[in-house]
Amino acid sequence: MIDRELLDILVCPVTLGALRYDADAEELISEKAGLAYPVRDGIPVMLPEEARKLEGEAKTKTKAKTKV
């Protein structure tokens, strides 16, 4: 789980855009960059080289979830 205040100040390091928390996958999603940053032990790993690329159906599925 990510603290709401932390989520409000974090931005994607690639696009500087907003992030959305996916609690099921424990990832911070950047729609603009098409990347999912992992959250490990409650700590967001905001390194582009650690992010998972969103592709096809996964990218579409993330749009259905809401920002926490």
* DSSP secondary structure letters along 6-68: HHHH---TTT----EEETTTTEEEETTTTEEEEEETTEE---GGGSEEP-HHHHHHHHHSPP-
Q: What is the pLDDT of residues 11-52, one digit of tens each?
A: 999 999 999 999 999 999 999 999 999 999 999 999 999 999
Band the pLDDT of 65: cuts 50, 70, 90.
Answer: low
- Say how many domains are in the chain: 1
Task: State the pLDDT at residue 55.
Answer: 87
CATH of the domain at 13: 2.20.25.10
Supply the range of the domain harboring residue 14. 4-64
Q: Are strands 52-53 and 43-44 parallel, antiparallel or unpaired?
A: unpaired
Whole-model pTM over 0.85: no
